[in-house]
Amino acid sequence: MNAKAQSVLVTGGAGYIGAHTTRQLLAAGHQVTVVDNLYSGHRWAVPPEADFHQLDAGDRKAMTGLMQSQQFDAVIHFAGHIVVPESVANPGKYYQNNVVGSLNLIKCCQKADVGLFVFSSSAAVYGNPKEVPVREDAPTDPINPYGRSKLITEWTLRDFAERPGPGRPMRYVALRYFNVAGARLDGALGQATPEATHLIKVACEAACGRRDSVSIFGTDYDTEDGTCIRDYIHVEDLAKTHLYALAHLADGGPSQVLNCGYGRGFSVREVLETVQKVSGQDIHIIESDRRAGDPAELVADNHLIGQTLGWIPEYDDLELICRTAYQWECKAPWN
């Protein structure tokens, strides 16, 4: 991985994945500027070494001003709404923030001649894939507004990258996240998203006594135990993919769309059993109806990211993911 220092603008850098990535960027010697409106991020999650601006990444006037005052080599774009059921209930919120906001940011990059862009996309773009593990060239058919908002932004980046005309052409890497979870091994940072819906965090909240129960949304899926199957990736491994993507682009690499996952899945029941095992706590489990917008199984084919970026995961262990998430939850700043 190229260690050349760069000036990097990180949008959503006070959020869960953004804050972990910001720390890794700083540790690698990059100069980091964080933009976050603190809608779901936290000011304390941003290291003091990073230059912080409380702004909306989709505010063209504010972002144009920032990019005029500082010269950036690259943008890593995390800022976006991510709750699938909310996107179904309130699609306009997701198209406005995730699509329009991203378009505004991309236009600002074009105007400021920032040619390198790493985008926080999602496996939700695949919808219900016909083949699992799912490859990057599989059909994209998202089944919820959240997934559609991510796919539209991928298309936008592709069109800007392919446009003719003057100015620096944009090159990008769109990273399609599978299910991120866990916390730093030193306990310094973890998921603090308010009213989170991610299974491992919710289960850890229950194990710590801050939630009465955990619901399984659907027990009649066409899977071995009837519950949804997901590919869980440790947040530190996911954060590292952004540094690899940045190095790829800095070295002149072409635009890419890449899966970020471990290539194996676990059911909801398996995850709940693992959280109970690592915590030593019983969790009250309620079986509920299916949740709108949930595919039965999402597991990554992750060969391309290894071949393209040379990325090798370090924390591919469900027990480790759940243990670090539980330890963080029990010692988190809001306790």
**Catalytic site includes residue 146:** yes
How many alpha carbons lie under 13 Å from residue 318 in its C-beta half-sphere?
A: 21
Which residue, among 71, 42, 61, has the nearest Cα to 22 in the 3D structure?
42
Length of the chain: 335
Task: Tell me the one-letter amino acid at 312.
Answer: I
Residues 32 and 50 sit within 8 Å (Cβ to Cβ) = yes
DSSP state of 43: G
Rounded distance between C-alpha atoms, residue 325 and residue 199, angstroms: 11
Bridge-based pairing state of the strands 229-230 and 266-267: antiparallel
Q: Which residues make beta-bridge pairs with 266?
A: 230
- 3-state secondary structure at position 328: helix
Residue type, 223: T
Q: How far apart are CA 122 and CA 10, in angstroms?
A: 18
Give the start-end residues of each E strand in 249-296.
Answer: 256-260, 266-267, 285-288
Report yes or no: 22 and 32 within 8 Å, Cβ to Cβ.
yes
Number of helices (H) and strands (E), helices first, in the chain?
11, 14
Work out whether the CA dihedral 148, 151, 157, 158 comes out positive or negative.
Answer: negative
Residue 153 burial by Cβ neighbours in a 10 Å radius (0-12, 13-18, 19+): buried
Of the candidates 146, 221, 244, 326, the residue annotated as catalytic is 146
CB 101 within 8 A of CB 79: yes
Q: For the chain, how big is the Rg over CA atoms in Å? A: 19
* Active site residue ranges: 146
